[in-house]
Every structure is written in C-alpha cells, then in structure tokens.
Amino acid sequence: MANVIKQFIDFLKKEFNSYPKNIKITLGVLMFFVLGFIIFGIQILFWGLGYTDMSNVYPFGQWIIGDLGLVGLGGGAFTTGFLLYIFRNDKLTPLINSTVLIGFMCYLFTLVFLVFDIGQPLRAWFGYTYPNWGPHLMPQSMLTEVVWCLTLYFCILCVEMIPVVLKHKVLDAIPALHYIGHYLHRLMWIFAAGGTFLSFFHQGSLGGGMWDIMYGKASWFRAHHIYFFVVIIGATAGGTAFMTLCAYIAGKVMKKEVVPKETFHSIAKVSGIMLSVYFVARIIDVSLMATKWTPLFDRSFAGMMGGYYGWWMLAVEFILLIVAISMLLIKKNREQEKTFLVGISTGAGALFVNKLFVVLNGSSVPNFPWKSFAAYNPTIQEWFIFLGGLSVMVLIYMWFAKYTPLFPHAEHAHHEGGEQQGA
C-alpha cells in the first residue's frame, strides 16, 4: 500500500513538473480551491447549512446560481451536437469532443452542487420518487421532471464521452475497444436527438419553469410558462458562446490551433443569431412583466428593481447582449480575433448575469411592498465549494486536453507538420 501511494505521489510530481511556470502557478491556485472544496464540503455535509448565509428568504444560494449557470452554459453541448449530427454541419466536427466534455462536466457539477444545496444529501433520492401527487394521481412537482431529465441527459453525455476516451492511443490500439468507439460514434445521432429532447425540457424547467409558476412571488410569476421558452433560447445562445470560449482559451494555453477558424466562425454565427433571438425574447419578457404580470399583484415593476440587485443587473445583461450581438452577428467583427473574443465572452457573460438576476433579485424582493429588500452574502464555505467545483472542472479539462484527442484538428495538424518537416 505504501509503495502504491509513493508511486502515485511520484506521478503527481512528474506531472506537475512537466508544465511551464505559468501553468504551475495556475495549478497551484486551482489545487488551493480544490482543497478548500474538500474541507468545507465535509463541513457542510456533516454539520449542515448553518454555515451558509441561506435563509427562508434565500432558500437557494450561491450553489443554485452555479447550477443554473452550469446547466445554461452546458446547453451549448446539445446545441452543437444537434447541429452536427442532425443538421449535418460538419464544420463543427473539430469542436464536438470539447463541447461534449464541457457539457458532461457542467451537468456533473450541477448534480454535485445540488447535493450540497438540498441540505440533506441522504434524501437526494426523494427528488426521483416523490413528485407531490395531486388530484387523479397527477404529479405536481416540476423539480421531479428536472431531476429525471438532468439525470437521463447526464447518462447520455456519459455515453457520448466513451468514444472520446477510447480514442486515447493506448485504448484505441485494442481492437475490441476500437470497434466499440467506432460503432458508438456512428450511433451518436441517436444520442444527440435524445439529448436535445431531454435538454429542451430541463433547460426550460430548471431555468424558467420552476420560477414562473410561483404565483406568490411578483418578481418571478409569468403566466403560460413564457419564461420557460426564453430560457431555452438563452441556453442555445449563451451555451454555444461558452463552448467556443473554452476552446479558444485552450488553444491559447496550448499555443496551437486546436480548432480551425472556419469552425469558430460557424459556431459564432449560430451564437450571434440565437443571441439576437434571445435579446428580443428578453425585451418581450420584461415588457410583459412590467405591463401585465406584475400589476396582477398590485405592484409596479420599477418598485421591484430596488435593493442590491435591481436595475443595474438588468442593465448589465442587456449591455452584454448588445455587445455580443454586434460582435458575432456582423461577419467582419466575428472574423477578427479581438472582436470575436469580446463577442463570445459577453455572450456567455450575459447568460450568467441573467441567472444571477433571477436568483438574487427575485429572492430579494419582499412579498409585501412595505417590507425592505433582502440581501445575501455567501460565506467562505459557499465560495470555496463553488470555486472549488469550478477548479475541478478546469483540471479535468486540462487533463483531457493533454492525454486524449480532445481536439482532433490539433492532432492532425501536428502530424501533417511533422510529415512536412520529415520530407
């Protein structure tokens, strides 16, 4: 046992020393957050949510923001897969492995954060088995549908990850595993279609449907599930921008062209179009809130934009959307590296700010107009669990980029370059 531990430590040291200095610093910061995640995660699981700033006003805190953000940004995985396997946009092929991995991690850590968020992890299975039966045995809990869709889509992502892992040169050399990976790859269109169906529902349910049915909250209620569809559009828009941003950053860190420019331009165009649709949908959504839904509570929309998380967050979201659209929808801008980077960054940022606005502003608005707005300040435990989870995601992504053909284009370009030099 001691020998195994020593070999593992030696492997970690060798792995760490194989990176340049700036990457070592980054790894040190990431491991610091991961250590905090482990320490404070144990504290929360064993001693409860009393170490957080959550309350009856903020029953969902920073972790639910992470859940909503990760699921929304992870929506780029099903969008990219749908465009590639169903619409046959082959330009997206160099990006698909990266998007599947990011989607996998987004959904994995959505479930991880939910384990902490529910307060009693041992009862996590209740979400699958207690749908709050109503009249005539009709399920009443939208959270049950969310939990099932999240889990089933995560299972699909696990299957979609298998061909990526099996492409490792050691595993690919085994005939049986090579055949399995090749056969699964040919069936990916089925999983892409199923994943799109499941993701369509839980994107809307978790991001919109859980909130707009709350007829006791003037800041959230919308009739006819309008916000359900707004959130789905936002996931396809901001999610594709996020997938593109991750691949772009990976290329800069690895100092090579991991994805051809035409792939970036193709997915950026899709993101720009969907961000435009999302922008219009949000304008309609806010207009209906101001003129139709909020007055039902004898409240004014402007009156709910006070507190710490009001007008400024809404303004930031729309400014980011306008910048992203102007950068990605115009061909000249999306084909220039600087404006392209601004576009995908602000596109992903706009979606995340929207999730912040939903949770923070919606929870802060008092149920009665004569009461004051509430505030929420995450504790150090919440920060470390949130940032530690994101750090683990970065580490996994780095490992896959180094040891698996996450970017087939980069591998192909490397071999071509070697052949040319040999010639």
Q: How many Cβ atoms sit within 10 Å of the Cβ of residue 289?
A: 20
What burial letters (b/e) apply to 160-179, b meaning 16+ CB within 10 Å? bbebbbbbeeeeeeeeebee
Q: How many Cβ atoms sit within 10 Å of the Cβ of residue 86?
A: 12
What pLDDT, in 10s, does the model give residues 73-107?
988 888 898 888 888 888 998 999 999 999 999 99
The first and second tokens of residue 191, run together, are: 């999983």
What CATH number should be reported for the domain holding residue 190?
A: 1.20.1630.10
In a domain, 16, yes or no: no
Q: What is the DSSP string of 319-354?
A: HHHHHHHHHHSSHHHHTSHHHHHHHHHHHHHHHHHH
Q: Which amino acid is at 80?
A: T
Domain hosting residue 159, numbered range:
21-415
pLDDT at 411: 65
The rounded radius of gyration (Å) of the Cα atoms in the chain is 23
In a domain, 422, yes or no: no
In a domain, 407, yes or no: yes
Q: What is the DSSP string of 1-30?
A: -HHHHHHHHHHHHHHHHTS-HHHHHHHHHH
Tally of domains in the chain: 1
Contact between 106 and 394 (Cβ < 8 Å): no
pLDDT at 419: 46
In a domain, 423, yes or no: no
Q: What pTM, to 2 d.p., does this model score?
A: 0.90
pLDDT at 59: 85
Q: Which residues pair with 413 in a beta bridge?
A: none
The segments of the chain whose pLDDT lies below 70 read 1, 410-423
In a domain, 276, yes or no: yes
pLDDT at 273: 96
In a domain, 314, yes or no: yes
**Separation of CA 141 from chain center:** 23
